[in-house]
Amino acid sequence: MRFLHTSDWHLGRSLHRENLLPAQRAFLDHLVRTVEAEGIDAVLVAGDVHDRAVPSLGAVELFDEVLHKLAALGVPVVLISGNHDSAQRLGIGAGLIARAGVHLRTDPDAVGEPVLLRDEHGEVAVYGLPYLEPALVGRRVGAEEVSHAAVLGAAMDAVRADLAGRRQADSNCRSVVLAHAFVIGGEVSDSERDISVGGVPSVPASVFDGVDYAALGHLHGCQTVNERVRYSGSPLAYSFSEADRRKSMWLVDLGADGEVTARRIDCPVPRRLVRLRGELHELLTSPDHDDVEDCWVQATLTDAARPAQAMEKLRQRFPHTLQLAFEPENRADDGLASYGARVRGRDDGAVALGFVRHVRGSVASEAESALLVAAVEAAARTEGDD
C-alpha cells in the first residue's frame, strides 16, 4: 500500500505578517497532483492542520477545498488533530465526513479504533492518535502518570491490544500509526510551539514498537528517527531558522510483509528564505547578494551605530525584507549584566542619555544631550507640580 505522509500544514499562518495562504494553496494543489501522479492509496496528515484553535475563514475554506478534491479522487484521508488544532472543532461531523473517505481522528477515547484499509496483500489498520495533552487526557487513556511519555505509551498499549486481536484473525494484518509528538532524537526549529507543559515533552521512539510505520507530526523538519518512524515536517518554512531546510512529504510503500520503503517528494517553494548579516552599506552594495534580491530576507545589521531608516533602505534592494535585527560588532560594553545594574545610582538625565547610547551605538551630541536633559528636567518639574 502506498501512503503520502504529510503534516503541520498550519493553514492560516503568516510569516512575519506575510500572508501565506496563496503558498499554502499552491502546496495543497501540489499534494493533490502528487496523489494522482504517484498512485497514492491513502493520505496521512499527522496534525496541526490549522495554525490556531479558531482558524480564519480563509484557512477553513482552503481545508474544505482540499478535502473535496481528495474525496473526488476516491483516495482515503486519515487525519489527526495537533497541538495547534482544536480537536473538538476539527472533529465536528467526523462520522458524516467519514462516508466520503475522510477519517478525522480527534477523540482520545478512540485511539484503539483503526481506519481499516485493504490492498491486494490484505488489511492495513491505520490508527490515529491525536495530540494528547497529559493533564487533560491522562486518565482517559489510562496513563499511570501525567507525562507525555506515559500518555502516549498508554495510547500505544491500546493500539497494540487491538492489533493483537486483529492479527489472531489475520496474521498478515499490517499497521500504521499517526501521532503528533516530540520524539527523542528529533531536530527542532523556532517554528514549533513548546509542548513542555505537562512535564518533559519528549518521548522515546520505542513507544511505537510493534507497528509497521509511525507517521509523525509536530517537528517541522523532514527527518528519519529510524526506518519505521519518520517526521514529514511542515510543507513551508514558518521561521527563518528553517531557511536552509528542504521541504517535502514522504511517499511510503508498505509491502506485503510490513517492509517499509520511503522517498521524499519535494514541496513547491513560494520564495526562498535567506539570512543576511553585515553593515548596511555592504548589504546594499555588494554584488554577492544579487541572487537573493527577490527572497524573503532576515537582515542583521552589525553597524556600530544604528543606521537611520534601515528597513526602508533595505527594501529598496530587497523588497521582501521581513525582519530586521541590530547586533553591532566590536562595540564597547560596560560589562554590567543587567539594566538595573546599569542605571543604579544614576539620575534620570544620565539614564536617558545612556539609553540613547545603547540604542544608537554612539553617544548623543552636545546639542542632543542638552535638549534631552532639559526635557527630563521639565518632565520632573511637571510631575512635582502635580
Computed over every residue of the chain, the mean pLDDT equals 90
Report the C-alpha gap between 65 and 85 in whole angstroms: 18
Percentage of the chain with pLDDT > 90?
Answer: 75
Contact 111, 142 (CB under 8 A): no
What integer pLDDT is reported at residue 185 of this predicted model?
81
Report the C-alpha gap between 87 and 109 in whole angstroms: 12
Which tens digit of pLDDT belongs to each residue from 140-187? 998 888 889 999 999 999 999 999 999 999 989 999 999 999 998 888
- Range 33-39 average pLDDT: 98
- Range 36-51 average pLDDT: 97
Q: Which residues pair with 119 in a beta bridge?
A: 122
| Cα distance from N-terminal residue to C-terminal residue, the chain | 79
Which tens digit of pLDDT belongs to each residue from 174-192? 999 999 999 988 888 888 8
What integer pLDDT is reported at residue 39 of this predicted model?
97
3-state secondary structure of 261: strand
Amino acid in the structure at residue 161: A
Residues contacting residue 134 through CB under 8 Å, at least 6 positions apart: 143, 146, 147, 148, 150, 151, 198, 199
What integer pLDDT is reported at residue 341 of this predicted model?
56
Q: Looking at the structure, do residues 245 and 293 belong to the same domain, yes or no?
A: no
Confidence of residue 28 (pLDDT cuts 50, 70, 90): very high
- Range 337-357 average pLDDT: 66
Q: How many residues does this entry show for the chain?
A: 386
What integer pLDDT is reported at residue 372 of this predicted model?
78
Q: Looking at the structure, do residues 225 and 97 belong to the same domain, yes or no?
A: yes
Q: Looking at the structure, do residues 311 and 345 belong to the same domain, yes or no?
A: no
Residues contacting residue 171 through CB under 8 Å, at least 6 positions apart: none
Q: Looking at the structure, do residues 373 and 261 belong to the same domain, yes or no?
A: no
What integer pLDDT is reported at residue 383 of this predicted model?
60
The sign of the CA dihedral 47, 53, 58, 61 is positive
Q: Looking at the structure, do residues 247 and 297 belong to the same domain, yes or no?
A: no
Is the per-residue pLDDT at 384 higher than 70?
no
Residues contacting residue 76 through CB under 8 Å, at least 6 positions apart: 41, 42, 43, 101, 102, 103, 115, 117
Amino acid in the structure at residue 344: R
Q: Looking at the structure, do residues 362 and 323 belong to the same domain, yes or no?
A: no
What integer pLDDT is reported at residue 196 of this predicted model?
59
What integer pLDDT is reported at residue 377 of this predicted model?
72
What is the DSSP secondary-structure string of 210-242?
A: TSSEEEEESSSS-EEEETTEEE---SS--SGGG
In this structure, of 237-246, 255-264, 306-315, 326-335, the range with the lowest mean pLDDT score is 326-335
CA angle 152, 7, 77 (to 5 degrees): 90
- Range 255-280 average pLDDT: 97
Final residue of a structural domain among 215, 231, 266: 266
Amino acid in the structure at residue 329: E
Which tens digit of pLDDT belongs to each residue from 70-121? 999 999 999 999 999 999 999 999 999 999 999 999 999 999 999 999 999 9
Q: How many helices (H) and strands (E) does the chain have?
A: 11, 19
Contact 73, 39 (CB under 8 A): no
Q: How many domains is the chain built from?
A: 3
Place of cell 478535502: 67
* 272 burial level (CB within 10 Å; 0-12, 13-18, 19+): middle
Report the C-alpha gap between 54 and 214 in whole angstroms: 28
Q: Looking at the structure, do residues 126 and 243 belong to the same domain, yes or no?
A: yes
Final residue of a structural domain among 234, 266, 298: 266
- Residue 165 CB neighbours (<10 A): 11
Is the per-residue pLDDT at 4 higher than 90?
yes
Report the C-alpha gap between 151 and 138 in whole angstroms: 6
Q: Looking at the structure, do residues 66 and 164 belong to the same domain, yes or no?
A: yes
Confidence of residue 374 (pLDDT cuts 50, 70, 90): confident
Nearest to 170 by CA among 78, 228, 256, 252: 256
Kindly report the CATH number assigned to the domain that includes residue 33: 3.60.21.10
Report the C-alpha gap between 351 and 339 in whole angstroms: 10
Q: Looking at the structure, do residues 201 and 301 belong to the same domain, yes or no?
A: no
Q: Looking at the structure, do residues 64 and 110 belong to the same domain, yes or no?
A: yes
Report the C-alpha gap between 132 and 211 in whole angstroms: 19
Final residue of a structural domain among 211, 244, 266: 266
Is the per-residue pLDDT at 225 higher than 50?
yes
What integer pLDDT is reported at residue 336 of this predicted model?
47
- Which set of grid coordinates corresponds to residue 129? 492518535
- Which set of grid coordinates corresponds to residue 317? 534592494
Q: Where are the alpha helices (DSSP H) in 113-226?
A: 134-137, 148-169
CA atoms within 13 A on the CB side of 158: 19
For 1, the enclosing helix (H) or strand (E) is: none
Report the C-alpha gap between 191 and 181 in whole angstroms: 15
What integer pLDDT is reported at residue 332 of this predicted model?
52
The sign of the CA dihedral 84, 86, 89, 92 is positive
For 361, the enclosing helix (H) or strand (E) is: none
What integer pLDDT is reported at residue 368 of this predicted model?
79
Q: Looking at the structure, do residues 254 and 175 belong to the same domain, yes or no?
A: yes
What integer pLDDT is reported at residue 339 of this predicted model?
53
Residue 276 structural domain: 271-331
What integer pLDDT is reported at residue 199 of this predicted model?
53
What integer pLDDT is reported at residue 198 of this predicted model?
46
Q: Looking at the structure, do residues 73 and 14 belong to the same domain, yes or no?
A: yes
Report the C-alpha gap between 76 and 232 in whole angstroms: 18
Q: What is the pTM of this model?
A: 0.84
Confidence of residue 359 (pLDDT cuts 50, 70, 90): low
- Range 323-337 average pLDDT: 72
Confidence of residue 342 (pLDDT cuts 50, 70, 90): low
- Which set of grid coordinates corresponds to residue 33? 497532483
What integer pLDDT is reported at residue 173 of this predicted model?
96
What integer pLDDT is reported at residue 381 of this predicted model?
67
